[in-house]
A and B are shown apart, each in its own frame.
Chain A
Amino acid sequence: MRPPPPGEEAFLKDLLANQVPPGVDDASRVKAEFLARIAKDQLKCPLIGRKEAVYLLGTMIGGFNIQPLIDLLSDPNLADDAVAALSNTLMIYDAFGRVVALSRDNSFALQVVQNWANGTWFTSRPPMPGEVTVTVFKVEGEINTDDFSPASEAWSRPDIPLHAQSMLMTRAPGSLDVLKGLHAKGHPIAFVGDVVGTGSSRKSAVNSLLWFVGHEIPHVPAKRTGGVVLGSTIAPIFFNTAEDSGMLPIQCDVGGLATGDVITIDTAKGTITRNGTVVTTFTLQPNTLGDEVRAGGRVNLIVGRKLTEQARQALGWGPTDLFVLPDRPPETGKGYSQAQKIVGRAVGKAGVRPGEYCEPKMTTVGSQDTTGPMTRDEIKELACLGFSADLVMQSFCHTAAYPRAVDIKTHATLPDFVTERGGISLAPGDGVIHSWLNRMCLPDTVGTGGDSHTRFPIGISFPAGSGLVAFASATGAMPLVMPESVLVRFKGTMQPGVTLRDLVNAIPWVAIQQGRLTVAKTGKKNMFAGAILEIEGLGDLKVEQAFELADASAERSAAACTVLLNKEPVMEYLRSNITLLQNMINRGYRSVDAIRRRIAAMEAWLAQPELLTPDPDAQYKDILEIDLDTITEPILACPNDPDDVKKLSEVAGTPVDEVFLGSCMTNIGHFRAAGNILEGHAQTDVRLWVVPPTRMDEQQLKDEGVYSIFGKAGARTEVPGCSLCMGNQARVRDNATVVSTSTRNFDNRMGKGAKVFLSSAEVAAVTSLLGRIPTVAEYMSAMNERIMPKMDSTYRYLNFHEIPGYEKRGVVIPIQPT
């Protein structure tokens, strides 16, 4: 390589300082190692001195720069610079403990801890300006996230500046030129819309918008922060993502604003003026928004607040009044529900109230393979080299069966990314995320996952978008405004022939009867929307069964779900899961530490099995009672709306083309039941798909001979995983009528134009024999003949601890080379 021509020095230094992505990118590793060698005097660089190297290390946010900076605290010549660099670095994670340990006999390390405790990272930044003058760029009507970040241009999303050029390209062609022209007025641009950011939670929507309305971040290439967005309505997830990125989102009446207006936003008074006249008013929401903007975004604020709090604790200092405390709902003095207690435990309190802002500890986090790559990118942005959440699990269930080239690449790279950070990676073909993740859950703990069906049968999960899942994995906590709870109370006795799936569908069915849920899309009523569904009255359910109820809370548009279970099924489930986890270690799953930790936590719980229960005077937004005595026949969700539930007698006789037994809604009992019903029958006329949720279910069914029944019935079996449920792998024929055990039947999900009924496996199996939905009499006779006499052997769950030698099963013993 030739030395640079003279005159290039400044350019080269600028490239190093500003054009290398910070965090834990491969390039940032090279940069950090290079600077560390200069700072430690292991490498001489004529253009960069040691002090400057330390300064530049301090601009790298976190990750590979942290350890060198900690080392430099012991270098008397550079320790002051290292103090300055570390004091303003927030993505510290577990290096915090190392700095505190060092501070016992290193005064510079002590200074760092004190600076963190004093929040100098925050106080050194300018407060949110009292007045902001901006030029309005307005788009009329609703602007959804696809308008900001068109799906057709998805390929360019990782390249933020380039992808931003497609913003509004179909929604308002030519308007970007108008926007760019407005910069001539000399003010930043505020994006204004009537309804802003509806649709999917994609972060690229905010990225693109920020590219035009935000400002550059020193030392961070191709990304922007700051900026103002005004909307009469701003969709909640878009609002959160904007907050996370350091934008100022304001909800106000924008009717009086037009493109080209120069307006002044007074953040203290809550007014927007044009030429000295007030055009509209607003209240900053949430009340912590000013701190978020000052910190450079909500993510920085939450991480930094926690760092400050930890540092104060380490120093024995009291709490700080530096930050605005989130508004708190009034204290009612009443008891807490189950969910409120579980989340309370995760924040170290007896309970949390609906509306209360909290940051519950994330004990279990799940990620699947379609959102996994996005989550990976976000984890890199958070400069995370090791997860703080106790257990992070990655599955490959959505793309295992028929992977595309990009999926293969994900299968090859994502496992290492996850396990290097201390997470657990499954393999393609292992099965559905939830069927595994549930087996790793701990009672009465909180988690999340980047799949809307991440809903734990024990404890509670708040499913989230890829950004929050990354945040939860990296930091071990998640920002949450506690939703209200709706209690669903089952009473009476379960009637013969009725299955758990029918109880799942009984929830919307009863709600519809009582007029608290409507099926029509316009003016829809839904008592469950955004609430936590708390289910009581079925305490003896097995945990596998409880998950059917929790899983389907996604279809109710509920935020989360709890199921009140007795201790015994939970103990049985955990014992079984310990054996499975031991088997994973023996099979070589990684990371072993995470699996071991979880086994130990399960054993600790089993040594003293206690479960949280709701207080008798707990408050609910609403209560739905379901009398099991009144549910006397199967209930199905009808095409194509999971809320459109009808009794079997109302849909009996409908001709059916295909039947799907599978998805996370199924467990081994369903397949045995289907096997019982299909046994002895020749090939079905309908196309029958049988896909167990995990490889363990598949193996057990094969061992029991159930697969041979499916074979004789002409079933098409597939790799354990999501299969037809997601609609991105094998699909049903166009316009087919389908009876399926899967979670949801949205239009075109399972197949183009498909009409999909959602039912129990038992109804589905009888349907596959008849080629039409059975009558109640036909169904009951199949149940009476084939299921009732062997209930116990049919609905038996995978108790791995009862299978002799299971720990060692499937272990591959490598052949030693001779």
Chain B
Amino acid sequence: MLEAYRQHANERKQLGVPPLPLSAEQTTALTHLLCAPPPPEKKRS
């Protein structure tokens, strides 16, 4: 969801406008992300 959102935000930036407000689907995905357990601390090398 985040990647798609960032891409959308970039496209909108080209047009000189902010991203569209979140849809219900995006908001649902966002709530899942917010509640996801914090990522494991170990560094990936």
Seen from chain A, the residues whose Cβ lies within 8 Å of a Cβ on chain B are 1-6, 8, 12-13, 15-16, 19-21, 25-27, 29-31, 34, 43-48, 159, 161-162, 164-165, 221-222
When distances are taken between beta carbons in the complex, the residues of chain B under 8 Å from A45 are 34-35
Contact of B34 among A6, A13, A25, A161 (CB under 8 A): A13
Alpha-carbon distance A161/B14, docked complex (angstroms): 13
- Which of chain B's residues 1-43 have a Cβ closer than 8 Å to chain A? 1-2, 5, 15-24, 26-39
User: Knowing A12-B33, A44-B35 touch, does A19 contact B19 (C-beta < 8 A)?
Assistant: yes
When distances are taken between beta carbons in the complex, the residues of chain B under 8 Å from A221 are 18, 21-22
| A-B residue pairs in contact (CB < 8 Å), sample of 18 | A3-B39, A4-B33, A4-B36, A12-B2, A12-B33, A12-B34, A13-B34, A16-B27, A16-B34, A21-B21, A27-B23, A30-B24, A45-B35, A46-B35, A47-B34, A161-B18, A221-B18, A221-B21
Alpha-carbon distance A34/B22, docked complex (angstroms): 15
Contact A15 B17 (CB under 8 A): no
* Interchain nearest-CB distance for A611 vs B (Å): 49
Contact of B29 among A1, A31, A46, A159 (CB under 8 A): A1
When distances are taken between beta carbons in the complex, the residues of chain A under 8 Å from B24 are 25-27, 29-30
Contact A27 B21 (CB under 8 A): yes
Alpha-carbon distance A4/B34, docked complex (angstroms): 8
User: Knowing A1-B32, A165-B17 touch, does A19 contact B37 (C-beta < 8 A)?
Assistant: no
- Interface of chain A, helix or strand or loop or mixed? loop
* Interchain nearest-CB distance for B9 vs A (Å): 10
Alpha-carbon distance A161/B13, docked complex (angstroms): 11
Contact A4 B39 (CB under 8 A): yes
When distances are taken between beta carbons in the complex, the residues of chain A under 8 Å from B35 are 43-47
When distances are taken between beta carbons in the complex, the residues of chain A under 8 Å from B33 are 1, 3-4, 8, 12
Q: A1-B33, A12-B34 are in contact. List 9 more A-B contacts (CB 8 A).
A: A3-B38, A5-B39, A12-B30, A15-B22, A25-B21, A26-B24, A27-B26, A221-B22, A222-B18
A-B contact count (CB 8 A): 85
Of B26, B28, B34, the most chain A CB neighbours within 10 A belong to B34
* Interchain nearest-CB distance for A345 vs B (Å): 42
Alpha-carbon distance A6/B44, docked complex (angstroms): 12
* Interchain nearest-CB distance for B26 vs A (Å): 7
Considering only CB atoms, which chain A residue lies closest to B19 in the complex? Answer: A19
When distances are taken between beta carbons in the complex, the residues of chain B under 8 Å from A3 are 33, 36-39
Alpha-carbon distance A159/B20, docked complex (angstroms): 8
When distances are taken between beta carbons in the complex, the residues of chain A under 8 Å from B39 are 3-6
Contact of B30 among A15, A29, A165 (CB under 8 A): A15
When distances are taken between beta carbons in the complex, the residues of chain B under 8 Å from A159 are 17, 20
User: Knowing A34-B31, A46-B35 touch, does A27 contact B22 (C-beta < 8 A)?
Assistant: yes
User: Knowing A12-B33, A165-B17 touch, does A20 contact B2 (C-beta < 8 A)?
Assistant: no
* Interchain nearest-CB distance for A438 vs B (Å): 39
When distances are taken between beta carbons in the complex, the residues of chain A under 8 Å from B30 are 12, 15-16
Considering only CB atoms, which chain A residue lies closest to B24 in the complex? Answer: A26
Considering only CB atoms, which chain A residue lies closest to B23 in the complex? Answer: A27
Contact B22 A48 (CB under 8 A): no
When distances are taken between beta carbons in the complex, the residues of chain B under 8 Å from A222 are 18, 20-21
Contact of A19 among B2, B17, B22 (CB under 8 A): B22
Contact of A162 among B15, B22, B23 (CB under 8 A): B15
When distances are taken between beta carbons in the complex, the residues of chain B under 8 Å from A15 are 5, 22, 30
Contact A162 B17 (CB under 8 A): yes
When distances are taken between beta carbons in the complex, the residues of chain A under 8 Å from B27 are 16, 20, 27, 30-31, 34
* Interchain nearest-CB distance for A654 vs B (Å): 54
When distances are taken between beta carbons in the complex, the residues of chain A under 8 Å from B32 are 1
Alpha-carbon distance A27/B29, docked complex (angstroms): 11
> What 10 A-B pairs are tightest by C-beta distance, nearest first?
A26-B24, A3-B36, A161-B17, A221-B21, A30-B27, A34-B31, A27-B27, A27-B24, A21-B21, A45-B35
Alpha-carbon distance A164/B18, docked complex (angstroms): 12
When distances are taken between beta carbons in the complex, the residues of chain B under 8 Å from A164 are 17
Contact B38 A46 (CB under 8 A): yes
When distances are taken between beta carbons in the complex, the residues of chain B under 8 Å from A27 are 21-24, 26-27
Considering only CB atoms, which chain A residue lies closest to B40 in the complex? Answer: A3
Alpha-carbon distance A430/B34, docked complex (angstroms): 49
